[in-house]
Amino acid sequence: MSDIPQELKYTASHEWVRIEDDGTLTVGITEHAQALLGDMVFVELPDVGDDFEAEQDCAVLESVKAASDIYCPIEGQIVAVNEELEDAPEQINVNAYHEGWIFRIQPVNADHIDELMGPDEYAELVESESH
Amino acid sequence: MTTKQTTLKETPLIKAHQTMGAKLVNFGGWNMPIHYASQIDEHHQVRSDAGMFDVCHMAIVDLRGCEVIAYLAKLLANDVAKIADKPGKALYSCMLNNSGGVIDDLIIYSMEPAWVRVIVNSSTREKDIAWMRTQIGTMPVDLNERDDLAMIAVQGPNARNLATQALGDEIAGADELKPFNALLINAGADNERFVARTGYTGEDGYEIVCANDQAESMWNLLADAAVKPCGLGARDTLRLEAGMNLYGNDMDETQSPLESGLSWTVDFSNEQRQFNGREALEKQKEQGLKYKFVGLILKGKGVLRAHQKVLLEGAADGSKEGELTSGSFSPTMQQAIGFARVPLETGDTCLVEIRKKQLAAQVVKLPFVRQGKVLVE
């Protein structure tokens, strides 16, 4: 079973979301997703200031195997991106939940955070997809 | 990321893969290891030391009969005469349809004067066998699919040494093999081994064939000798660096070998030899080729992938374009590399369209890497 931290929120497209003290959301991909994608070799980040709708593709991760879109978990504006990934995309493989964070977003409406999955629901999703 | 579960075929090594923690994927209907841990580490392992691959999914076909050479002379674009009556010699060739398209690429091994072993791709197995049978017609050639045999590829600069250490007398005499030669050991006995000094990585090594029920113990002996199991993911980046074509990506029935970087395998020298597709290819040559097959290196960051569009710099809108046929990230070069079919007039650089951006790429001669060394500048 993959590592699914209890304090995070999740999406059906395998992003994790951490609610920061300032109300922004940090986003990355889950341990389960990084294991499926394999060795990361390139990350295309959004620009700070870009606006995205919920579920809009906003970044691209390329592993040695394939390219995958990353979807914005919530409507909002990008306030920070993890530029270190440009030179070290493998940080996503090494530590998907910390050094492997991808971007931070200021949500338009914080109420929408409740629509994200909790850890138990996400664990069920991972379980159902592996059978 | 969901995959519908179907009944996948398994090789005799499935248990060994599961024990060794392989990530298994549906690979053309077979449940095969894509990697065990890091695909990039597995790639480096083969370039610098020794790795092994389960290639039991490939199809081994034995052709026997007094007319087998005449049969292959027509079936194959390369000339079987190069290895006829030279037991142990191997030859790479395309099998063409009558319009010169590639049905498959394969390796043939001369076993005995009236016996040639053919190894074809897993994904094309059924159509290959059907075509080969049709082509036999009334010729006295017997075709036997060897589903009873398993094959393990051991590749890397230390592969042959470690294989000898691990398998000892099982592969006695293999250390004397020259590149692209093969040896049948204990012919006809239960412990028969067929050892070929061939592979699909650009490194030295063996491809070893044994009975299905002995494959797992051979795999474990090799693992005990520090030959690391590697998945088909690493096999793909290794063959890409080595400039080796992949059927279905780099050529298929709609493409000519002459525009797929395979001209060197089409042998027109014997004018009497009317191989399948010859007429079509001669016509194509007469009319002039339109494309060439090249290597590309992406100058900036990003990853090259099959089907990306290749544009000529400064070309007018609507002019001829090229296309990537394979692409990935080269672990050895730490850059994105690929193969492309591009207009003949393409120069030293071109543009590749990646997600609506046009990125500069260098055009190079293949291969990129052989025997651990980068060959392009």
CATH of the domain at B213: 3.30.1360.120
Domain with B322 in it: 290-374
Examine the domain organization and report whether B310 and B366 are in the same domain. Answer: yes
Which residue, among B34, B40, B238, would best test binding to A if mutated, counting the most A CBs under 10 Å from its CB? B40
Q: What is the pLDDT of residues B62-90, one digit of tens each?
A: 999 999 999 999 999 999 999 998 999 99
**Three state DSSP letters for chain A:** CCCCCCCCEECCCCEEEEECCCCCEEEEECHHHHHHHCCEEEEECCCCCCEECCCCEEEEEEECCCEEEEECCCCEEEEEECCHHHHCCCHHHHCCCCCCCCEEEEECCHHHHHHCECHHHHHHHHHHHCC
Between B18 and B85, residue with greater pLDDT = B18
Q: Are B102 and B33 in contact (CB under 8 A)?
A: no
- What pLDDT sits at residue B202? 97
Low-confidence ranges of chain A (pLDDT < 70): 1-2, 131
CA of B375: how far to CAs of B158, B209, B210, B365, in Å? Answer: 21, 31, 35, 9
What is the DSSP secondary structure assignment for residue B316, as one 8-state letter?
P
Q: Quick check: B233 and A64 CB within 8 A?
A: yes
Chain A contact residues (CB < 8 Å to B): 14, 33, 35-36, 38-39, 41-42, 44, 60, 62, 64-67, 86, 93, 129, 131
CATH number assigned to the domain comprising residue B349 = 2.40.30.110
Q: Quick check: A42 and B2 CB within 8 A?
A: no
Query: ω before B33 within 30° of 0 (cis)?
Result: no
- What pLDDT sits at residue B4? 54
- What pLDDT sits at residue A38? 94
Q: Scanning every residue of chain A, which has its alpha carbon at the shortest distance from the alpha carbon of B306?
A: A66
Examine the domain organization and report whether B262 and B307 are in the same domain. Answer: no
- What pLDDT sits at residue B29? 95
Among B256, B273, B288, residue at a domain's last position: B288
Which whole number is the average pLDDT over B239-256? 98
Q: Does B355 touch chain A (CB under 8 A)?
A: yes
Residue A95 C-alpha, separation from nearest chain B C-alpha, in angstroms: 14
Which whole number is the average pLDDT over B322-342? 98
Which residues of B fall within a CB distance of 8 Å from A129?
Answer: 1-2
Q: What is the pLDDT of residues B145-191, one digit of tens each?
A: 999 999 999 999 999 999 999 999 999 999 999 999 999 999 999 99
Cβ-based neighbour number of residue B376 at 10 Å: 17
- What pLDDT sits at residue A116? 96
- What pLDDT sits at residue B319? 75
**pLDDT > 70? residue B216:** yes
3-state SS assignment for residue B175: helix
Q: Quick check: A64 and B302 CB within 8 A?
A: no
Query: In chain B, how many domains are there?
Result: 2
Which whole number is the average pLDDT over B251-269? 98
Examine the domain organization and report whether B321 and B268 are in the same domain. Answer: no
Q: Quick check: A42 and B336 CB within 8 A?
A: yes
- What pLDDT sits at residue B314? 76
Q: Does B36 touch chain A (CB under 8 A)?
A: no
Q: Does B303 touch chain A (CB under 8 A)?
A: yes
Q: In order of start, what are the domains of chain A with their CATH numbers?
A: 9-111 (2.40.50.100)
Examine the domain organization and report whether B207 and B319 are in the same domain. Answer: no
Which residues of A fall within a CB distance of 8 Å from B1?
Answer: 14, 33, 36, 129
Q: For all residues of chain B together, what is the average pLDDT?
A: 96
**pLDDT > 90? residue B345:** yes
